[in-house]
Amino acid sequence: MKLMDKSLSSLTEKQYKYLIARYIAKKSAREIAREEGVSHQAIEKHLNAAVKKVKKTFAEFF
């Protein structure tokens, strides 16, 4: 669990918020964008960066 905590704590506030909305709340990038008042491209940018950071943390296991 410490590794997951480390991984999630490395995210920016927006990355964390959008990652939770996308994968836990099962919202699309367009839904999140509508709620946040930004473009879906901006949401995708933050999500891609967040996933990249999380993958980097777990890279040693794959």
Three-state DSSP class for residue 11: coil
Q: Distance of CA 57 to CAs 31, 48, 53, Å?
A: 28, 14, 6
Whether 2 is in a domain gets the answer no
CATH number at residue 44: 1.10.10.10
| Count of domains observed in the chain | 1
- Tally the residues of the chain: 62
Is pLDDT above 80 for 1?
Answer: no
Give the CB-side neighbour count of residue 41, counting CA atoms within 13 A. Answer: 0
The contacts of residue 35 (CB under 8 Å, 6+ apart) are 21, 27
Whether 28 is in a domain gets the answer yes
Which residue segment(s) compose the domain that 48 sits in? 8-61
Question: What integer is the mean pLDDT of 20-42?
Answer: 98
Q: Tell if the pTM clears 0.85, that is, is over it.
A: yes
- Would you state the pLDDT for residue 34? 98
Question: What integer is the mean pLDDT of 23-47?
Answer: 98
- Would you state the pLDDT for residue 25? 98
